[in-house]
Structure 1
Amino acid sequence: MITWRRVTGNDFPLLRHWLAQPHVARWWNHDTSVKGVERDFGPVARGEEPAEDLLVLLDGRPLGLVQRSRFADYPAYRDELAAVTEVADETMTLDYLIGDAEQVGRGHGPRMIRALVRATWRDHPYAPAVLIPVPLANRASWRALEKAGLCRVAEGELEPDSPAAGRAHYVYRATRPTRPRAADAARPGSG
């Protein structure tokens, strides 16, 4: 079962370990020193920054990290992506990793993404969509998004998180599901 909770300072040693793994470091260009992880993750963990860093658990054991944020809270990032595709302020984005290399390629990525997208509709009731840019070079990541049900909606040049990623990106979208109106649901043949 996939569950999650907010990252706390007690999780920083685990994040340092994960960020140093070659399969993560290739795409996540982070300083893995104690000070670097504190600088990058401390403000969110302390509630000083509006994003959410979520430690994802598989059957109660740490599996990965998902960062979830609203584009409205990061206008420079929103504006950069808006050059490639439409971005409403309340739209959310996710970034994710699986920390343990032995857990990669087992279908956990799509399950994790699918679960967090579904939770986004509940947790952020005004979010019309989730947009996720991913480097073209990171085939495993964009394939995980496709398996999770997201649709590729754009392609363009964006500033990469890691120099190894290159500027070419795909952008994937999940749109908030609409609920049928009560009258439509009661009509024969509507369900």
Structure 2
Amino acid sequence: MLHLDDGFDLRPAALDDAALVASWMTRPHILPWWEQDWPESRWVEEISRLAAGEHTIPCMTVLDGVELAYVELYRVRYDRLAEYYVWQEHDWGMHLAIGDTSFVGRGLGRRLIRALADALFRADPLCDRVVAEPSVLNVPSVRAFEAAGFVRQAELELPEKRAHLLVRGREA
């Protein structure tokens, strides 16, 4: 378990997290953006696949002992996102889904996003930027990233969505 700023903890997702993640992905505030309302068995496969690779780290975040969110931290240079903007060698990206609805709409998203970005900067001294690419229609997510110090750099036409490229530099 890695202790983050602002009281959050981060740990690698385990196969026994698949049921919880699968249930979160069906929730109305997540489903339209992730479109991964897969059965638990598919999430077992996905977490296993991601954990076995070198590109993406599937994680769970915890606050005060409560499972809060599913997070994917990824190296942009190995991700398809690298095809859509001028990336730097040590850019990191993040995908985030706050699953526990009791935490939604309370400002915890921006706190968690900031804590995750700060942790990436500490973990990788060569990283100067952390990026995210939420849908332009996902206004709550865009607002949370901006409140966490991310700045809109571009609009990207990805295969599944029009997205804002949001970038946070070390100095934010």
TM value normalised by structure 1? 0.81
**Higher Cα Rg: structure 1 or 2?**
1
Residue segments in structure 1 that go unaligned for 5+ positions in a row: 161-166, 179-191
In 1, distance between residues paired with 2:144 and 2:118?
Answer: 15
DSSP 3-state at the match of 1:62: strand
Conserved in 2, the CA contact under 8 Å of 1:31 and 1:37?
no
Partner in structure 2 of residue 152 of structure 1: 152
Would you say 1:78 and 2:82 are equivalent positions?
Answer: yes
Task: Give the number of aligned pairs.
Answer: 166
- CA deviation string 1:67-90 (max 9, x = no partner): 10111222x3311x22xxx21132
Partner in structure 1 of residue 55 of structure 2: 50
- CA deviation string 1:118-138 (max 9, x = no partner): 000111222220111111100
In 2, distance between residues paired with 1:110 and 1:104?
Answer: 11
Residue segments in structure 2 that go unaligned for 5+ positions in a row: 1-6
TM value normalised by structure 2? 0.89
Per-residue deviation at 1:5?
0.8
More strand per residue: 2
Partner in structure 2 of residue 183 of structure 1: none
Partner in structure 1 of residue 38 of structure 2: 32
RMSD over aligned CA atoms reads 1.6
In 2, distance between residues paired with 1:108 and 1:122?
Answer: 21
Letter in 2 for 1:130: V
- CA deviation string 1:139-191 (max 9, x = no partner): 0000000111111111232223xxxxxx322111111239xxxxxxxxxxxxx
In 2, distance between residues paired with 1:11 and 1:156?
Answer: 32
Partner in structure 1 of residue 166 of structure 2: 172
User: Superposition pairs for residues 1-191 of structure 1, below 5 Å?
Assistant: 1-45=7-51, 47-74=52-79, 76-79=80-83, 81-82=84-85, 86-160=86-160, 167-177=161-171
Letter in 2 for 1:170: H
Conserved in 2, the CA contact under 8 Å of 1:56 and 1:63?
yes
- CA deviation string 1:93-117 (max 9, x = no partner): 0010100222210011001100000
Q: Moved runs in structure 1, 4+ residues, more than 6 A?
A: none
